[in-house]
Each structure stands twice: as C-alpha cells, then as structure tokens.
Copies of this chain bind each other. A is one copy, B any other.
Amino acid sequence: MSKVNVGIIGFGTVGSGTVEALIENREIISNRAGTDVIIRKIADLDIKTKREVVVARELLTTRAMDVIEDPEIHIVVELIGGVKAAKEYILKAMEGGKHVVTANKALLAEQGQEIYQTADRYGGSLAFEASVGGGIPIIRALRSGLSANRIKTVMGILNGTSNYILTRMPQEGEPYNKVVQDAVDLGLAEDPPTLDVDGTDAAHKLAILISIAFGSPASFEEIYREGISSLTPDDIRFARELGYCIKLLAISRVRDGRLEARVHPAMIPRDHILANVNGAYNAIYLDGDLVGPNLYYGLGAGKKPTASAVVSDIIDLARHIRSETDVIMPPLAHFNPHDKGLLIRPMEELSSEYYLRVSALDKPGVLSTIAGILADQQISISSVIQKERETGGPVPVVMLTHEALECNVQKAVSLIDQLDVVMDKTVMIRVEKR
C-alpha cells in the first residue's frame, strides 16, 4: 500500500489541529508510517468559516456520509464530539470496514461497550488515544507498555480546567468564582465550565481508563462524582498548613476484590509526585504489580496536544494498513471474556482519612460536642487547627481524621451540621496518601 487515505469528520479545534499536523509534519509522518498519509476528505456542517489551516476546497464536504462511504478512505477520524451523531457515524464506518480514530471520551465512557464490540465484530481497529489525557500516550502505556502487569491503582488529574482553577486559587487567594471567570475569559474553559468543574469530564476519562486498566467494563454512571465548586481559599490554605495540596482526583483502585471508582477533590501530601502537577497539565499515576508506581504527565487538552494523539493513532493504523495485516490488538484485548469484571464498591464503604472544616460559633463546649459526635461514629482525630476568635462570627474548626468509613463520616457531618452552633455546611475532603 503506497498511500493511506484519511477522512476527517469534524473541522473544529481538534479537527483543524489534526489537519495542520498532517500537513506540517507530513515528511516525518510518512517516514514513520512507512507510507504516505493523505487527507482525502474533511466533513463539517460549517465549511465556510475560515480556519487557520488552508485546505483545498474540493476536500471539504458538509456530509459526513461522503467520508464514511468513500471507498478510497482507509481511516475515518471522528472529531465532532457528543454522543448521538458521533456514535452513528462510527458504527457506520466500522460496518463499512473502515478503521476508526476518535477523541470522543463521552461516547466511549457512556457507550464504549457497544463501540468496542462492533469494532471487534467487523474486524476494524479502533484507536482512541486522544480520549484521555490529551497528548499523553496513556492508552498505549496501559494496552502495550504495561501489558505484563496486573494494574492495582489508577489515580489521575484528568481535567486541566479544574486543575488550573485549583492551582490559581492558593497562589492568589482568590475566591472560586473569580478564578473560574478568569479561566473563561482566557479561553481556558467553556462558559460555564460545568462538566469540567463538576467532575463529569474526569469521570468520563476514568471510565475509559478503568475499562483498559482493569479489563472491566465500567459504567460511567457508577463512578462517584463530586466537583470543586464548594472549595474555598480557606480550605486550600488549611491544607497547605497541614502539608497537603488539593487536587481534583479521579481514583480507581482494586481493594479486596472490588473496584473503587470515584472523582472528587482530594488532599495529597505536598511531596507526592502529583502535587507538582499545576496549571492546565494532566497526570496519571499508576501502580502495577511488576512495574511499581508510574506517572505520565502532559497537557491534557488543546488543539496541538490532542492532534498529537490523533495523528499518532493514524500513524499506527497506517503502519498496519501498509503491511496489509489484521488488527494486532483487538479493542477488547484487555477484557477477560470469562470474567464479568470487577464490581464497583459503593462509596459508603470507602475507607479513607478525611479533612473536615466546621464553621462553628466560638462558644465553650463546641469542640467537645463535635469530637463527641465523631467518636460516636468511630472516627478518631489525628490533628486539629482552631483559629482565633473573630468577634461574633463563626470560626473554622479544621480536623484531620485517622482512617474512617465514608458512611460514618457522612453521618457525623450531617449530625454536626444540625447543631445550633454550626453556621454553615461542613466541608469534607478525602485524603489520599499513596
């Protein structure tokens, strides 16, 4: 095969980044693929608006089916995002014998099983490096570089927007809403950045990582989600005083034969390798039975990093098409067919250390009442910070607990919040040390 033809559906930010990369790095791409990689068609509803990259008019079409049905096209690249139309196009392309590259995390997280199985049925390849961690080749690390390992833990900073917000808050002591607005103004976040800050985007990516790392078809809906909007500069300051920083973490870990799967703000020690992951960067920390702890770090989004992943997928597929081989690694390679997969442990059964910040009136006996409620729920305290009294107003009572059960902590917090002397909802942040 002297050339491999690519058709692209979606000419937005990632689409035009992909086209630009295929044109600008054409020589090294052909070298590495062992064949010319040619853009044959680009479909988008809007083919009028000017893009930064210039392409020949005749490559453009408004009909996705023009790409899917073109018999000369070997690889269909889906970059429109969203679930419904993208799914339809991908399934049609697979049925037509195309190889598919996608960056669509929502689709894979919510309906990945059907997509993987369809790819398997029609014998096509499905490559989706860009769906998690932007340009970081984390999907390949799990599917190939670490394939000898039983993975025990996956823990990641998977959303750049929320990491940018959490990085800026402690530096500048600014409240959450102000920093979010700045991120939107700078073009770093959607307006409003709901799916970024409420944990949905990170949970989508975690669902994909779980399916590969643990060979277990995780459903996105089963992943516990909690966003960063209730965090205050105070919490970030207290965390720092205690030797921690706060990150929005996506965590999955095998424990006692079941899988933890959760996205929430977490405190990690300041010398943890994830603690220096700042700004819009992402990082994925893994632990495997052979390899031990591993970390992968890079820009988690953006036109060029995402194009890096999409085009690297295209090169890998082109190498296969060129040598006219079958699919080497079926999409389901990491699923054990004899295995229903690991069950996800309900959040109430989580065992963790906790940070609690109670807003209480500074009256005699308040700390002892709170401590009593915690003791009743088998929660023991490892350290307390109580700040000086502000005349009249509530004072923050900050506590770190030893390991305790989530259900007990939830119960204790709800009892504490019913006390007359407690003036605001108690903030609870889980602590991750490993």
The interface of chain A, by Cβ under 8 A from chain B, is: 17, 21, 25, 27-29, 31-32, 34, 129, 134-137, 140-141, 144-150, 215, 271, 273, 275-277, 283, 288-299, 302, 304-305, 307-312, 314-316, 319-320, 323, 325-330, 333-334, 336
Contact = CB atoms under 8 A, between A and B. Distances in A.
Contacts of A27: 336
A226 B55 CA distance: 50
**Which 4 residue pairs of A and B lie closest in terms of their CB atoms, listed nearest first?**
A137-B145, A148-B311, A135-B291, A290-B308
A298 B304 contact: no
A214 to B, nearest CB: 11
Contacts of A277: 273
Given A140-B137, A315-B148, A293 B304 contact: no
Contacts of A149: 25, 308, 312
Given A291-B308, A292-B135, A305-B290, A129 B145 contact: yes
A304 B290 contact: yes
Contacts of A292: 135, 298-299, 302, 304-305
Nearest to A323: B326
A141 B148 contact: no
Given A276-B271, A325-B323, A325-B328, A148 B291 contact: no
B328 A326 contact: no
A276 B270 CA distance: 10
Nearest to A303: B290
B307 A299 contact: no
Contacts of A329: 319
A28 B297 contact: no
B298 A293 contact: yes
Contacts of A312: 144-149
A294 B297 contact: yes
A31 B277 CA distance: 34
B150 A334 contact: no
10 contacts: A28-B150, A32-B147, A135-B291, A140-B144, A146-B308, A273-B277, A290-B308, A293-B298, A319-B333, A323-B328
